[in-house]
Amino acid sequence: WVKGLFVGRTYGEGQAQFTCPAPAFGYSFNRHECVTDLLKSAFPVTLSLAIGAFLLWLFVGVSLGIVAARFKNRWPDRASNVFVLVGTSLPTFISGILILLFVALKFGFVNPIDLGKWVNPFENPLGWINTFIFPWITLALAYAATYTRFTRSNVIETSSEDYIRTARAKGLSEKVILRKHTLRAALAPIVTLAGLDFAGLLGGAIITEGIFNLPGLGRLSIRAVLNDYDLPVIVATTMLAATFLVVMNLLVDILYAYIDPRVRVA
């Protein structure tokens, strides 16, 4: 390992090996590779996991929340309450292990040899989906339960506003009121929450990536901390996660102003 450093080399040879191209986050002496190259190989995995889980939990959570609010205190509402209870009670590491052992592996949906292998979605879309479908479900379960409860309470609260009662007095149908008035106001706070949650996932879903052996940013970070104490990798992944959070905050503010005209007026 010592011979791999500057020992026995000229200054120019050492600089040529350990100088990384821009954007330079430094050199990982434990892995003998530029940190930028490590991030390039790990980021597509984390991005695939984050986008798929985000779309899944947003669709399931918002849809169930709307249905539960529209059928308040009836059986769809009670069924959604059961889903919320299960989703929020199960930690990710428990639900992930259960899904992996008793669904993915037991019924042969996933080959243990192929577990965690990166598949390019542009070259093999079906293989990409097969690799990420169970990590998506695992990661989306708790978020979907939270968004169901949040959407339900927002829709119920918005439905009692004065302008909603005015719309009913004008003779508009409940479907029109829900689509044109209630949802636009009720979903505005969800945009803020969704943006921050998505930015957090881009920093790496450590538990889910660890369970399904996905070589993403989360697993890269935890190995850098626990196994190697690889400081350049730790700094790079932390800066990347912070950058995503700042950028998503900005995008959420812009989108929020588009959804809710009252924010633009203020």
Contacts of 195 (CB under 8 A, 6+ apart): 248, 249, 251, 252, 255
Strands 33-34 and 27-28 turn out to be antiparallel
Question: How do residues 176-202 score in pLDDT, each as one tens digit?
Answer: 888 888 887 888 888 888 888 888 787
| Amino acid (one-letter) located at 75 | W
Strand locations in the chain, DSSP E? 27-28, 33-34
Quote the tokens at residue 191.
Answer: 């945009």
Domains in the chain, ordered, with CATH?
44-265 (1.10.3720.10)
Question: How do residues 132-179 score in pLDDT, each as one tens digit?
Answer: 888 999 999 989 999 999 999 988 888 888 888 888 888 888 888 888
Q: Minimal CA–CA distance to 136: which of 217, 211, 247?
A: 211
Question: How do residues 201-253 score in pLDDT, each as one tens digit?
Answer: 876 578 888 888 888 888 888 888 887 678 888 888 888 888 888 888 888 88
pTM higher than 0.75: yes
Contact criterion met (CB below 8 Å) for 150 and 190? yes
Look over the chain and give the mean of its residue pLDDT values, rounded to a whole number. 81
